[in-house]
Amino acid sequence: METLIREKHHKTWVDVCDITDLLPNSGICALAHGQQVAIFYFPDENVIHAIHNYDPIGKANVLSRGVTGDIQGEIVVASPLYKQHFSLITGRCLEQPEICVAIFPARISGTTVQVGCT
């Protein structure tokens, strides 16, 4: 489902799934802009976050399978491989700040989950 939507400010949004496909307080993997994107849904806040699914330390596409949590007020996902924590806001690794994963804008439009790029 690769429907492209253009908005002002030259942002392109791609429909990646329906909100019913998301798992509360957990992640799923979707293809957006030709890349694997890990999408995390927090229904209590009605918020989604999207980061690249590739774990640069474990060298595998696994971040969508990680455990989410909060470390000192920062929402993170722990890689299922070596347990490093990646911020869902900035993409940086808390244990190794020189390592980052890409983050993507994400939103819920009606019942559709969209990932954007500029």
Domain boundaries, the chain: 4-117
Please give the pLDDT value at position 118: 59
Report the percentage of the chain scoring pLDDT > 70: 91
Q: Which of 98, 99, 49 is nearest to 70 (CA)?
A: 49
Kindly list the distances between the CA atom of residue 56 and the CA atoms of 20, 44, 63, 70, 99, in Å, as whole numbers in the listed order.
29, 30, 10, 21, 8
- What is the pTM (predicted TM-score) of this model? 0.88
Q: Which residues contact 110 (CB under 8 A, 6 or more apart)?
A: none
Task: Read off the tokens for 23.
Answer: 């798992």
Task: Return the residue matching tokens 């993170």.
Answer: 76
Contact indicator for 106, 22 with CB cutoff of 8 Å? no
pLDDT in tens, 48-94: 999 999 999 999 999 999 999 999 999 999 999 999 999 999 999 99
Task: Read off the tokens for 20.
Answer: 């019913």
Contact indicator for 25, 53 with CB cutoff of 8 Å? no
Residue 1 has pLDDT above 90, yes or no: no
Phi, psi angle pair for 3, to nearest 5°: -85, 125
What is the second-level CATH architecture of the domain 4-117?
3-layer Sandwich (2.102)
